[in-house]
Structure 1
Amino acid sequence: MLMSASSEFITLCQEQIALLTQGLGATLSVVYLTQELAEATTGEAKLIPVVVYPDTAVVRREDTAPASTRKSFTVRNALALPKLKQKLLTPSASGTSNNAQPPLQEEYVLNGNQIVLPLIHEGVMMGLLVTAREDRGWDEKERSEIQRIAQTLAIAIILDQRRAWLEHSLHQQQIIQEKQRDLLDNLLHQFRNPLTALRTFGKLLLKRLRSGDPNREVAASIVRESDRLQELLQQFDKVIDLTAADLAPFKLPDKQVFVEAAVQNEPKPALLLPGSEDKEADCALVDILNPLLASAKAIAQERKLQLIWEIPPNLPLVRVNSKTLREVLSNVIDNALKYTFAGGKILIQAGQEKPDFCGIAISDNGPGIPQQDLEHLGERHYRGVQAETEIPGSGLGLAIAKQLIEQMQGEIEVFSPAINSVIKSPSAPGTTFIIWLPIVEG
């Protein structure tokens, strides 16, 4: 069913009718739009007049006109509308998509003074242009001009319907976004209470454990990860704090000319993650890695994995955002723990070297990454063959890590099979990620 015509389309129709009136001497003209009947099962259609000239003209179908006027038709005060043939209301049998107006056929001419042209686009009739003059008939040149006007109207209908569809789609999308925001607000509100309780229990447990207790580090990790969740929650609050203007239904400007602009490569916006707005500073890798190793060790023990780490002393300082680097390392280590089978090994080595960079290598002896997936790593929501497994994931961890590292002028390299021969085997080729960080000069 056609959507309602816009005022701009009506104005265009009036301008085209003016060409018929002033340029060709038409005394009566009507532009109809075809509206399919939703309840009809036979594909019937009705025609709705959208522009009539002059305004006092009476529009009626030929089969309802008085018998005395059907053959000797005068156009002084009425314009007859022919009974439409079904083939004009459906796509053409050939399936061609030719935008050009079809040649004028005799069936479209009621008599020497009146012309009826279908407004057709890609084989579908969308309306009619009916025009007439009472003093003389139409010659071949005038008929060609009327066909060009009909073609202009057909294209205008398509553009106007696309505009209406776009505006309708944008409005529906706005409604969906408002519902999603309400749902997110509810979930975040429900998330706060258990998070507060978790942080409180972790702090109480930490106070009750003595300094030499091996479980003290586990309790400290609970508090640390709870603080990290709290920071993430604060970032969520900033992102969803939209104003009423942000949520106002979008509407296309009434009188606006749109032109196609050249596409430019713009830098990616900074990710809203804890500490991403902090400045970079000189950091010791051991201070960043030790808390992460404590958490990874607990997860590896639960999943029956062997975690090995090699962190030599006197590593050079690196110029990074410490909170951002923790997020990167956490994502990469989490992937190694997630995709390594029980009984496997994860090896974390710090101190890889290349000019101006210090590297951290994270290797595992999991199934590895197929060659066809390696080139897509870092693309958001891309999981490759892992999407076919039961291992949960969103395909965002590596994409986030890659973007954050690049913001700190670092790099990420991926090797599969793993480059460390100590842990890999033919049946478990594994993967190695090397995170290169800029070292402090001097």
Structure 2
Amino acid sequence: MLMPASPEFVLLCQSQIAALTQGLGAALSVVYLTDDPAAGGDADLTPVAAYPEEAVDWSQEQILRLLSGGPSSTPLPPQRLLADAERSPASPPNSASTPQQSERPSGTPNPAFQRAAGPAAEPGLYSQKIVLPLVYEGMMMGLLVTACSDCLWGEQEQSQVEHIAQTLAIARLLDQRSQWAEFELHQRQVLQSQQRDQMDDLLHQFRNPLTAVRTFGKLLLRRVQPEDENRTVAEGIVRESDRLQDLLRQFDTVIDLDPASLPEASPVSPSRDAEVHSGRAPLALPSQAAPTPSEPRSVTGQVQLEALNLAAVVAPLVNSAKVIAQERGLTLHTDLPPDLPPVWGDRRALQEVLNNLLDNALKYTPSGGTVRLVGGIERQSERGNRQQAIAILDTGPGIPKADFEHLFERHFRGVQSQGEIPGTGLGLAIARDLMSQMQGEIQVFSPADESGLIEPSTSPGTAFLVWLPIHVASQD
């Protein structure tokens, strides 16, 4: 299948039709294109340029009647245009004579150049018509239909028409090649962008456990006496985790996480753009292998929904968070009722979401502040099903209302980008995408007391509520 004609090709067709009209006195000229070169005489023809301009909207039957001079009631099949063209192929460029001229006897007219019957054209009819195929390298790409009234075209004029047809055929081929190259470039850029996004996500997800390992190592180092033989093990943990963090910083520099550096894709048609952007690929979880760019990445292939015990999901995250909070001079409160109903979600995805939110709370809350993790919050969704939330609240500086609109965009850090705390702006984007795969939602409140879960305080703080459907037996 061929792509639609580009605006540049349409302009070329219009200029060639103007040459026929002004230079040769053509009273009618239409350029038709087909989107299926292999269809032959059954191909559908679409007009792209014409003189007079309204001829673009004429049907093939109307054109045929005008060319043949038949009455308006005479049915004529659209395939007649193609049949006429297939009997008279165009000549290659720069040839001394056309195939028709070299093969037919002297004085025999080219069948492509036909005069109306009778000594003179009747009023409203054309004295001479030409139907030529747009063929190059064996590919039939369309037709050039032109006709004149009250004039006769000699061999020189006929040769000019043939060269115009051949020019359009070559231009159509080059137009297709250009569009396909543009389309393939756009695809590569989209795939490159997806690969970059996934690499960014994996790097971000790698940092959280690395921070926890480093914190555990430093805590262990404080508790081990200098003469203890295990002290070298603790020192090695801290040393290698520092080395890994340094390698991560170098890796960030090498791949340049700024998406603005990626060249913008060339414009493509909306239909092709929709095919390429058929939905953003879901995130790969830390313990899953990322598919190659050529492989489709479906939601069901990334998360496995099941009934989850929230206390079991949260417990290992709380243990790590307590160590980090202790090192940073923060207080961590947890309030998780023991009889919470199970929720419907994916264990690894939910842990990644909560880990990102806890990491942000611990990172942006100043020393002496408090981070809370609260469960047992329920609501009825708009669809009528029950949902349960885990809330993570902090006493940090809060989030400006102006940042809310872009809060979950990739690489967006808002006011935090002006501070000294490092970050990639990916944590919330990753959390939002994973929650979407689990059919859940994240709510944000800042100041935190707007959530209704705590009393107003001098520190604005932020509250994130992670909502998931409550599991019922029928979902198994």
TM-score normalised by L of structure 2: 0.42
Bigger helix share: 2
TM-score normalised by L of structure 1: 0.45
